[in-house]
Structure 1
């Protein structure tokens, strides 16, 4: 083979989607595998008598000729008729997201907050603690927004031209399909179950949606020759939008409707379409836009809790369009974050995108291209009395949801993954999970079912599986850590056993052998009149009451925090970032719950981190300061 041919072959192998044809299909685990994992996950929750009863149900469920075997064969048929992935093709989008009728705000959408730009003028973060009064935009805000727009478009170009290197692990390539579900993708409400607006890849739109003071504008990203405009061009367009919105008569805040109950929003949207043909045109512009940029005419200041709450849900859900797959909000201080609609892709993919976007600082004197020919266009809704009523009622329903959200951020700077690998000698993710287990036990004096997002991207169109963190080993660990009679070595041994059990379960989930998605598929294939105690026994549902719903997004060195809402009203939603020397946690619970307290859990995460460090250092030696650099 000539060097030229080898070079061309190498280029093809590194194209973004070059590994897709190599990816295996998501497997269907055996009944024995899934029920064994399920039973093991129940051990820390049940007495020996209760566990014995469930074992009998399992034995009958999987017996030859039993209902479990029948359901397994039906699931195999589903796999055989699925073009890519039996779970994703048949059920996942609807069952996990689109049939859920609660508002997206707090309940489903997530946020990923950016670090401050290194070129931020000092006065924007120091004067009045960074708080800027409502009603004012800023020049720095415009500059940073323009730069982010340009970088977001540059990343799209990497995907479209397949010059983004494919994601891989040490052992196998990963599916890149979710990258095609980020730009130009929007969820629309439908009665009973939502849908995604069909957007082919590459997304054909050439513009971005800009929202300011609840008004909507179309900002062109490219000139007639197809080249993207420069950051300086975007600054000009954003200044034109700000100038216009400051003097324009404002339309009602229609975007608030996207934060409402999905069935209410579905009815309100149909009414909008009935009011005027112009509304169809406006909705189409919004839904086809590559992504949204919200310019907030205020700043929450340097308080990270206040900042992430604004990024999570806005001020009473104003100045947002929560249905967009990707929406970026930027305060007048220049601080910003990404807010994502969860159904088209998991937060990991957008976190990779924004980490790349943030790797380049904003240019203070961005040049213009000289190609800019058209000003941004304002797009408007025609509203009637019913629309105004819908907006008012939506605000009444959304207000309590936002007010009830107890969302906080923790940035722990005493150590990070360098310590966890060198001194704790653990998997960083497993270690973080044990931190959360111990913090919860300290706060509530019990253990509870715990969900962690596991990746199945080694399979074609793979998304996630459920890692059941709570185990016999994790329960022994947290109880041992609170015991005064155990030595540091004994506690450390319990930590090692717990993290190993967690890593083993994580590996099984990554290999497509987690029990939860499999059992979901089997249960959904029950026909009318069919049932089994395996599914109706209360512990089946109880074991999936994720009072701890958790997920990690890697190092997140260019992110200041991330988070999502709790799944159950008496639980917590926890997202974390594991940097080399900085650990970050986003925590959310409900003020209305008498059981939970985000601040208390945050403090106990700090306590757990310190106590776990102490036992690791007692066993394996002090973590030298210079190794933290």
Structure 2
């Protein structure tokens, strides 16, 4: 048997193109998703609009044919090539901070000296940098460069499922990618893969430095070599006159391109937020005041002066799943207390200086005024639930883990607000060339019956369990359809965008079309997150929640974000009701399918 490694991009030519689903199937799926939101009379009214839309010779048929024509001229993918990145991200005029960016909290390094784990240690005072912080930063930089080398040399096996390979294109959209704000529509700047840059941008006390990841011969520096450079940067920044916080502008809508080619960013914070997760996640999401960050870069890693680290990412180049895979890999090896030095000539870091005038200072001031309320309004909490994980869900609940977690969120929302709402879950279409995502509409008649049934004291445990099974099965079917390119949301978006100036139809203008896409619950699951302490992103609507989760074998982690300004939402209350839902569902599953044996963990 051959031990030859399959190259990273070897399956790309085998991948099918993203299909165009049928008009009838898509509109049926859309109609079914409306049933939990409409009365019988309202549903019948909308049903007639859909019937007219899809009739032979009707507008739906014409738009469908136009979409086929778009597909024929698209090099790779009718959605990604034509609309998606622009419509979903680059044309969105809200600041990327909180509204679009995501974060991933790395686990604490097992080699962290014990004194760094105390909240009031003297070596991590505000305004200082620590030796351990620099060591860990150097290690993370070297591992990030090592992973880039694995991508560039195609040494990573391609991602696959049990039945099909997955597109690896997004791995080429992680390093050296920068979003450039422009009028009306932003732009992504990147060089051809592999990204040729050899440097990393280090931001420290709002100052900018170029750190070289490779020597003059192109050889990658060791942890120890990078550590020397970081010490040089810290020594320099402590004695120079500091420039104003230019990075604040990237949280707003300004244009700066000097750092666009850097492979990624390292943010060294001269403070720590303690050992809890809520304050830590806030710092890693927005820098507390948007300082010492550059939010337009595809990947940035911030390290507090106690050594805790996290990644912040700009969402448009790739979905957070891919950086989470990279970050998981980065966390596999702990930092060495005594990293080796190669002995090669080390290129000294170089500080970047900006030409700053009165207008620049005014822009920074105005940007800060716009950003501060966004930061203050963000209500972020982290939940780590350790009573059970996907082992229990599979063995005792006998459900799809992701469908089960989605029902947990449905039940938690119902417990909090006594109603159901449109719910978005990210569904992957990576089995297709350049595939990214489509919408899994979690809210269904089955999920509504389940949450109402769980709160109905007159139902038996068996009846409640049956409702859970029906809801998770319905969700799994919808999820599989989306994965197979048969979701309705991206398809309907394509049809709507192909309307000509003199064309319209009630299906696109009636209230329910918009209302059914108001994702009060915006959710997404990543990987098991064994090397991650948490993850999160912002809510889509001011009266909603943004929830990202990591489903481990025995540990479930949720990042929850809402707005303090909303009288309807409360992240801590929702967190508590996730716990309540997890426990209630565990109880009925154990009663039906016997107790969960702790020995199963062994």
Provide TM-score, normalisation by structure 2. 0.99
Partner of 2:29: 37
Q: Is the 1:589–1:597 contact (alpha carbons within 8 Å) kept by the matching residues of 2?
A: yes
In structure 2, C-alpha distance between the alignment counterparts of 1:517 and 1:114, rounded to whole Å: 33
Contact 1:233/1:372 (CA < 8 Å) preserved in 2?
no
Bigger share in helix? 1
The whole-number CA distance in structure 2 between the counterparts of 1:127 and 1:70 is 64
Tell whether 2:494 aligns with 1:521. yes
Deviation at 1:502, TM superposition (A): 0.3
Which residue matches 2:269?
Answer: 296
Which residue is 2:327 aligned to? 354
CA distance in 2, matches of 1:554, 1:486: 35
Residue number in structure 2 paired with 1:59 = 51
Q: Unaligned stretches of 5+ in structure 2?
A: none
Does the CA contact (< 8 Å) of 2:115 and 2:121 recur in 1? no
Whether contact under 8 Å (2:303, 2:310) holds in the other structure is yes
1:541-620 correspondence runs (5 A): 541-620=514-593
Cα deviation, 1:251-298, whole Å, max 9, x if unaligned, reads: 1111100001x3xx14xx5xxxxxxxxxxxxx33x1100000000000
Q: Distance in 1 between matches of 2:584 and 2:282?
A: 30
Question: Alignment RMSD, CA only?
Answer: 1.1
Q: Do residues 429 (structure 1) and 415 (structure 2) align?
A: no
Kindly indicate whether the alpha-carbon contact (under 8 Å) linking 1:88 and 1:462 is maintained by their aligned counterparts in 2: yes
CA contact (8 A) 2:126 2:272 kept: yes
Matched residue of 2:118: which SS? Answer: helix
Q: Is 1:383 aligned to 2:356, yes or no? A: yes
8 A contact 2:179–2:188 mirrored in 1: yes
SS of residue matched to 2:575? helix
Match of 1:146 among 138, 144, 147: 138
CA distance in 1, matches of 2:555, 2:123: 26
The number of aligned residues is 602
Give 2:376's aligned residue: 403
Q: Alignment partner of 1:408: what SS?
A: strand
Q: Does 1:326 align with 2:306?
A: no
Find the aligned partners of 2:545 and 2:372 in 1 and give their Cα distance.
Answer: 20
State the match for 1:226 in structure 2.
218
Return structure 1 stretches of 4+ with deviation > 6 angstroms.
none
Contact 1:553–1:576 (CA under 8 A) maintained in structure 2: yes
Partner of 1:20: 12
Task: Provide Cα deviations, 1:591-615, integer angstroms capped at 9, x if missing partner.
Answer: 0000000000000000000000000
Could you tell me whether the CA contact under 8 Å between 1:130 and 1:299 is conserved in 2? no
Q: Secondary structure at the match of 2:290?
A: coil
Are residue 252 (structure 1) and residue 225 (structure 2) matched?
A: no
Q: Which of 186, 198, 202 is 2:194 aligned to?
A: 202
Superposed counterparts of 1:369-380, under 5 Å: 369-380=342-353
Find the counterpart in structure 2 of residue 536 from structure 1: 509
Structure 2 residue 443 is matched with structure 1 residue 476: no
**Which of 440, 460, 463 is the matching residue for 1:490?**
463
Q: Distance in 1 between matches of 2:427 and 2:236?
A: 46
Q: Is 1:75 paired with 2:60?
A: no
Alignment match, 1:272: none
Q: Say if 1:213 and 1:297, in contact at 8 Å, map to a contact too.
A: yes
How much does 1:57 deviate? 0.3
Structure 1: gaps (5+ residues): 270-282
1:556 and 1:578 in contact (8 A); partners too:
yes
1:502 counterpart = 2:494: no
- Structure 2 equivalent of residue 105 of structure 1: 97
Cα distance in 1 for partners of 2:491, 2:361 equals 45
Secondary structure at the aligned position of 1:209 is classed as strand
Q: 2:281 aligns with which of 308, 325, 343?
A: 308
**Cα distance between partner residues in 1 of 2:521 and 2:119:** 39
Distance in 2 of aligned mates of 1:351 and 1:597: 27
| Contact 1:348/1:553 (8 A) holds in 2 | yes
| Cα offsets for 1:555-578 (capped at 9, x unmatched) | 001000000000000000000000
Task: Between 120-129 and 88-97, report the one with greater CA deviation.
Answer: 120-129
* Structure 2 residue matching 1:90: 3-state secondary structure: coil
User: How much does 1:81 deviate?
Assistant: 0.3
Residue 131 (structure 1) shift: 9.6
